[in-house]
Amino acid sequence: MIRNFKIVKVDSNYCDYLRKFDNKVAYNAGSKEMRPFIGILFVVDNFEYFAPLSSPKIKHIHMKNNLDFIKIDKGNLGVVNFNNMIPITQKNYELLDLKSTPKNTSELKWQNLLKTQLLWLNKNIKNVKGKAFNLYNKYKNNTLDERIKKRCCNFILLEKKCREYNKIN
């Protein structure tokens, strides 16, 4: 059974901890505090894997989908960065409430973008999950092109650090 994606906010302390071991872990504190992650891309060895979403940028329109990157609605709605996906447990994130009442116009626009991204991603769930799992397997089996591997988080190391973090906290 394929479960639908959800939008979550990952604990910034958890991301900061992982970043001590891998500088490719996305920032989600300070000005990026509400940077959302999409989850669950897949589950492996009791870890859920989440990948950060990026809001639309002009450069996304001209970029090509790749093993570690997928455009949402041809880039019009942003992208998912599989290369920056991280292992996580339920202790390390909270669901984003997309039904909450926005406080201002900016928050309303952001909330609408997330809803639209989520709708597109869930319509394309098999393709999105397949890309994420394929990247992970190629990384783990050391069959990933070196150029792509250099852009990726160290999934294996981060799984170990996820276990350590959750034992301590």
- The predicted structure's pLDDT at residue 27: 80
pTM of the model: 0.89
* Alpha-carbon span 80 to 43, nearest angstrom: 17
Please tell me the distance from the alpha carbon of residue 65 to that of residue 1, in angstroms, as a whole number. 26
Beta-carbon contacts of 41 under 8 Å, excluding residues fewer than 6 positions away, are: 5, 48, 49, 50, 51, 82, 85, 128, 129, 132, 133
C-alpha span between 66 and 15 (Å, rounded) = 25
pLDDT of residue 34: 56
* Structure confidence at residue 1 (pLDDT): 53
Q: Where are the domains of the chain?
A: 6-168
Residue ranges of the chain whose pLDDT lies below 70: 1-2, 29-35
What's the pLDDT score for residue 116? 95
Q: Cα angle vertex 82, ends 153, 152, to 5°? A: 25
CATH topology assigned to domain 6-168: Thiol Ester Dehydrase; Chain A (3.10.129)
Round to whole Å and give the CA distance between 137 and 121. 21
- pLDDT of 121 reads 95
What is the distance between the alpha carbons of residues 164 and 158, in angstroms, rounded to a whole number? 10
| Predicted pLDDT at 22 | 97
